Structure 1
Amino acid sequence: MHKRTVVLLLAATALAAGAASTAANAGGQITVGSTLAPTTFDPVAGTSGGDAMSLYPIYDRLINFDPQTLAPAPGLATAWEYAQPDVLTLTLREGVRFQDGAPFDAAAVKFNLERAMTMPTSTVKTDLSGIRSVDVVSAHQVKINLAKPDAALVLTLADRAGMMASPAAVEKWGAAFGQHPVGTGPFSFVEYAPGDRMIVKKNPDYWRSGQPSLDQISFRYFANQQTANNALRARETDVQLNVPASDVAALKSVSTLEIVSRPSLLTEGCYFNFSREPFSNVAARQAIASAIDRKALGGLLTFGLAVPTSQVFPAGYWAADSKLADPFPFDRAKAKSLLAEAGHPNGLAIKGIAFQGTSEIRKAQIIQEQLKAVGVDMTLDVTDIPTAARSFFTEKKYDLICSSWSGRPDPSQTAESLFS
């Protein structure tokens, strides 16, 4: 995981829309729309939090969590215990098979965890950095030896790091596994047309009795939100995920659609490339943080469905610190002073990049104008999520990207991923 500095903007609400009669009979199929095309179907190699929506149908996790409380719940592991502070023992569910017919067992868990810890392109290494070794105790018991006590590991295994891939499929496809995913989930991968659609079909041997009820799910990926909305209105899709707040009012006016709103761990923020000037200078980063008017941004972008924040955990979440003062309140005079301190008294020019999608572009443009008011001229390139993520986080071609952080089951994952 690449080290990043983040200026936090908004804590958001999760929104989805769908036909009011989307409930399907057993054996039916639905089409799900999204503007978040996956960066890969390899769960430990993805670079976007939006990948999860495409991964969940294919992969089960070792640990699940209660969506209301985020408390851990049984998944592929039916029980877990810290036999010692630095030893976590997992008892695995019996009778589970991967979608290619291979058995899920302790050897598969060892394979997956070691791969996630050592694969050069793994993006979950930080999540698992506290693991010293993994031992197979029996066919259905695994012992995870830790370098030091780590109570967060259980919920870490409820995220990507706990998604179990077929060792046989990984070995067969090698670096191309991300295009040929095989897990133990309720649906098997059928095909993917990059940037267009993915199809998954019912896994007839799924271990959960009576699930899944659907025969097929088709995911359609749209380059922009307006096209996604039009497809929903035209009944070309049954459900639309991650609806921007700016589109809620218009979609609510359609009598055949239902909008679902839920509290979310998602936060909006801007990431700096501090491997080079100007943001290798802390004063320049602080200037940007002081130049952004979060309250105005929230009003223009989310119409009251998000609140300004200066920390990675939203208010009401148990890990949020209500006493934490906003270190960088909106202050244009201070922003200009900090730019001068950083050696840019006459302003500076930076390169920004944004994801495709109406709300993403709108967000970037609002921030672009706010920065312009303090003398920061930001050019803005717009591209798809995989290209933008690679260009900024891996290739480091840009100075700034403003994107969301989808949150993680355990707060330590957020802290370590963003700040370690």
Structure 2
Amino acid sequence: MTDPRPLRPRRALTVAALAVAGLIVLSACSTGTASTGTTADAEPTAGGTITLGRVASVTSFDLNNEITANNAFAIDKVFEPLVAFDADGQIIPWLASEWTISEDGLTYAFTLRDGVTFSDGTELTPADVVFSLERHLAVGGPLPLDAPIGSIVADGDAGVTITLTEAYTPFLAELSGFQNGIFPADFQGKSETDFFADPIGTGPFVVSEWDPAGDLTFAANENYWESGQPYIDTLVYKLIADDTQLTQQLKAGQINAIDEVNSADVESLKSSADITVETVGSWEIEQMFMNTTNTYFGDRNVRRAIAMSLDRDGITQATTFGTAEVANSLIPPTIASSANDEGYALDFDVDAAKAELAKSAYPDGFTATLLIASGNSLRAQEAQIIQESLSKIGITIEIESIDIAAFRARFFAYDFDAMLNSGQSDYPDPDALVSFQADPAGFSKSYWTSYENPDVTALLDEGRTTADGADRDAIYLEIQKILAEDVPYIPLFYPSTLKATSSTVHDLTVLPNGSIRFQDAWISE
């Protein structure tokens, strides 16, 4: 999806921090499935309510026009794609039970799963799939179907054939994103506005009550295709706009799950017999972003000097209490082609930073603003450390902390000097993260930095058509090397995904994109 679609449309990614505070978790945890509160021999109990505390409300269910995690991780409870990914990042069948790919890699033939209906009981048909994906192509939006699709055709009662005009390696992975969920053809005769105000999908839950500025209540989809699921009757997303309040309300029993955990609270939560803490490896990366249209940050030497002045290891230890992994590249090690072990990142060296700044147009330093979202104690700590670090090379940083809605509006408008934020890949392929953060023609113009390098752009195109393997890995390693040297953003650390629940909540499936599958979840006495 793009606004009007650019000549070279690029993939976007869910920006986790656009809507939520950073997730800080144990770096030693597995990248595999985390099912919160699993009891090996216990049988799931039907009924009950899970109330999940979240720091941002759900404002829209229009899956083709959304990008932020506050909406994405509600949308994926209602709408489902043809294929999905599991907690290990492997592509798995979902609404499609199987598929075949032609030898030339251009034709994908999907067979729909038997017995799937929408939440109102109407049957899922190939026409619904064609309509949904064609609407996505027409809308464009922030998370486009970037594959070079020539046609999407219904094939009989249960088949859909998608033909590409050229090979596109990330195609199946791209289809697994929430933005490619399927909805009824022609919106069941409703207007788009009316349909998405009361959405109908194939997912495990339906919208029961919804305040776009407050809480959201889901009811179990009684027509869900997975027999006997979901187990719970109700899922509530409760708005709690401060990460400290999330923890306090969980401890007090006012809610029984939280979507965000302050790293300072990890040990306290884990020590409680009434609370369960689970983690999985994530596709997220915490970063400092610099607006290259800014007078100062448009200077490559300035950006390099800033990178050299930051002790990323120290920032990680101080702000995450040793619970996150220092980032040395844009792509997290949980995704293929990561350069985290390659040593491309500029080393922490204050003297070298001063020398680099001396090469810039501002050798005597300058004053700039660092934008952060309020209500996030971790980002406040990061900002203070960065402020102190840059003062040592003559750069004065003024910290501007504003509420999440204003923060989002500011950087969507490119109205910032530098900011702290995190990126979240939508699917398990290096293309997702790299394209969103390095393509000036994409929706975000290189994650709102306006960074542009023609060598990177050419490599992005090459990476999409090169088959998985050593040659493709080399392309993304080279991209990460260039980004490490140009420094439009500074990777700080890789959070894992952490969720905390009361001990009565069992079998939440936590995914590496930060979302949770609730259809297996249940409540014990």
Range of TM-score over shorter length: 0.7 to 0.9
CA distance in 1, matches of 2:315, 2:35: 23
**Contact in 2 for aligned 1:77/1:91 (Cα 8 Å):** yes
Find out whether 1:85 has 2:102 as its counterpart.
no
Find out whether 1:409 has 2:457 as its counterpart.
no
Q: What code does the residue aligned with 1:131 have?
A: I
1:297 to 300, 303, 315: 315
- TM-score, normalization: structure 1? 0.87
Q: What code does the residue aligned with 2:180 have?
A: G
Find out whether 1:32 has 2:43 as its counterpart.
no
User: In structure 2, do the counterparts of structure 1 residues 3 and 76 end up closer, same or farther at CA, with 3 Å as the change threshold?
Assistant: closer
Find out whether 1:399 has 2:402 as its counterpart.
no
Deviations 1:370-394 (A, max 9, x none): 33333333333334444423320x2
The farther-off stretch of 249-258 and 201-210 is 249-258
Query: What is the aligned partner in structure 2 of residue 309 from structure 1?
Result: 327
**Contact in 1 for aligned 2:59/2:213 (Cα 8 Å):** no
**Contact in 1 for aligned 2:134/2:152 (Cα 8 Å):** yes
Q: What code does the residue aligned with 1:73 have?
A: I
Find out whether 1:72 has 2:101 as its counterpart.
no
User: In structure 2, do the counterparts of structure 1 residues 145 and 338 end up closer, same or farther at CA, with 3 Å as the change threshold?
Assistant: farther
Deviations 1:102-147 (A, max 9, x none): 5422222222222223325x1112x524323322233422222223
1:153 to 163, 171, 176: 171
**Contact in 1 for aligned 2:54/2:246 (Cα 8 Å):** yes
Query: What is the aligned partner in structure 2 of residue 374 from structure 1?
Result: 393
How far is 1:24 from its partner?
Answer: 7.1
Find out whether 1:388 has 2:419 as its counterpart.
no
How far is 1:160 from its partner?
Answer: 2.2
How far is 1:36 from its partner?
Answer: 4.4
Find out whether 1:212 has 2:230 as its counterpart.
yes
Two-structure CA RMSD over aligned residues (Å)? 3.2
**Contact in 2 for aligned 1:351/1:380 (Cα 8 Å):** yes
The farther-off stretch of 379-388 and 55-64 is 379-388
Query: What is the aligned partner in structure 2 of residue 222 from structure 1?
Result: 240
1:279 to 294, 297, 310: 297
Name the SS for the 2:281 alignment partner. Answer: strand
Deviations 1:40-74 (A, max 9, x none): 33223223245443233222221122312x22111
Q: Which blocks of at least 5 consecutive residues in structure 1 are unaligned?
A: none
CA distance in 2, matches of 1:177, 1:360: 37
1:58 to 65, 78, 87: 78
Find out whether 1:325 has 2:343 as its counterpart.
yes
Name the SS for the 1:190 alignment partner. Answer: strand
User: In structure 2, do the counterparts of structure 1 residues 363 and 59 end up closer, same or farther at CA, with 3 Å as the change threshold?
Assistant: farther
How far is 1:76 from its partner?
Answer: 0.7
How far is 1:207 from its partner?
Answer: 0.9
**Contact in 1 for aligned 2:131/2:186 (Cα 8 Å):** no
The farther-off stretch of 290-299 and 246-255 is 246-255
User: In structure 2, do the counterparts of structure 1 residues 238 and 78 end up closer, same or farther at CA, with 3 Å as the change threshold?
Assistant: same
Q: What code does the residue aligned with 1:154 have?
A: L
Name the SS for the 1:264 alignment partner. Answer: coil
Name the SS for the 1:405 alignment partner. Answer: strand
Name the SS for the 1:205 alignment partner. Answer: coil
Query: What is the aligned partner in structure 2 of residue 119 from structure 1?
Result: 139
CA distance in 2, matches of 1:147, 1:338: 46
2:125 to 89, 105, 116: 105
User: In structure 2, do the counterparts of structure 1 residues 18 and 140 end up closer, same or farther at CA, with 3 Å as the change threshold?
Assistant: closer
- Determine which structure has the larger strand proportion and give its number: 1
**Contact in 1 for aligned 2:80/2:178 (Cα 8 Å):** no
Query: What is the aligned partner in structure 1 of residue 507 from structure 2?
Result: none
Q: What code does the residue aligned with 2:243 have?
A: Q
**Contact in 2 for aligned 1:368/1:377 (Cα 8 Å):** yes
**Contact in 2 for aligned 1:47/1:123 (Cα 8 Å):** yes
User: In structure 2, do the counterparts of structure 1 residues 389 and 62 end up closer, same or farther at CA, with 3 Å as the change threshold?
Assistant: farther
Find out whether 1:350 has 2:361 as its counterpart.
no
Query: What is the aligned partner in structure 1 of residue 512 from structure 2?
Result: none
CA distance in 2, matches of 1:95, 1:174: 26
Q: What code does the residue aligned with 2:310 have?
A: I
How far is 1:176 from its partner?
Answer: 6.9
**Contact in 1 for aligned 2:136/2:180 (Cα 8 Å):** no
**Contact in 1 for aligned 2:53/2:258 (Cα 8 Å):** yes
How far is 1:77 from its partner?
Answer: 1.1
Deviations 1:271-308 (A, max 9, x none): 22223433333333323322221101111111111111
Q: Which blocks of at least 5 consecutive residues in structure 2 are unaligned?
A: 3-9, 16-21, 440-525
User: In structure 2, do the counterparts of structure 1 residues 47 and 368 end up closer, same or farther at CA, with 3 Å as the change threshold?
Assistant: farther
Query: What is the aligned partner in structure 2 of residue 255 from structure 1?
Result: 273
The farther-off stretch of 359-368 and 315-324 is 315-324
Equivalent residue pairs, number: 413
Query: What is the aligned partner in structure 2 of residue 130 from structure 1?
Result: 148
User: In structure 2, do the counterparts of structure 1 residues 159 and 344 end up closer, same or farther at CA, with 3 Å as the change threshold?
Assistant: same
Q: What code does the residue aligned with 1:406 have?
A: Q
How far is 1:317 from its partner?
Answer: 4.7
User: In structure 2, do the counterparts of structure 1 residues 42 and 215 end up closer, same or farther at CA, with 3 Å as the change threshold?
Assistant: same
User: In structure 2, do the counterparts of structure 1 residues 370 and 140 end up closer, same or farther at CA, with 3 Å as the change threshold?
Assistant: farther
Name the SS for the 2:176 alignment partner. Answer: coil
CA distance in 2, matches of 1:27, 1:88: 40
Name the SS for the 2:80 alignment partner. Answer: coil
Deviations 1:142-195 (A, max 9, x none): 222223212321111111232223444497343576544332100001222234
CA distance in 1, matches of 2:93, 2:410: 38
CA distance in 2, matches of 1:3, 1:50: 20
Query: What is the aligned partner in structure 2 of residue 44 from structure 1?
Result: 64
Name the SS for the 1:278 alignment partner. Answer: coil
CA distance in 2, matches of 1:95, 1:234: 42
User: In structure 2, do the counterparts of structure 1 residues 395 and 409 end up closer, same or farther at CA, with 3 Å as the change threshold?
Assistant: same
- TM-score, normalization: structure 2? 0.71
Query: What is the aligned partner in structure 1 of residue 516 from structure 2?
Result: none
2:352 to 320, 325, 334: 334
Deviations 1:255-276 (A, max 9, x none): 3112212222221112222234
How far is 1:311 from its partner?
Answer: 1.4
CA distance in 1, matches of 2:128, 2:257: 34
How far is 1:200 from its partner?
Answer: 0.4
Q: What code does the residue aligned with 1:123 have?
A: P
User: In structure 2, do the counterparts of structure 1 residues 12 and 238 end up closer, same or farther at CA, with 3 Å as the change threshold?
Assistant: closer
CA distance in 2, matches of 1:383, 1:106: 46
The percentage of aligned residue pairs carrying the same residue is: 26
Query: What is the aligned partner in structure 2 of residue 199 from structure 1?
Result: 217
User: In structure 2, do the counterparts of structure 1 residues 343 and 61 end up closer, same or farther at CA, with 3 Å as the change threshold?
Assistant: same
Name the SS for the 1:389 alignment partner. Answer: helix
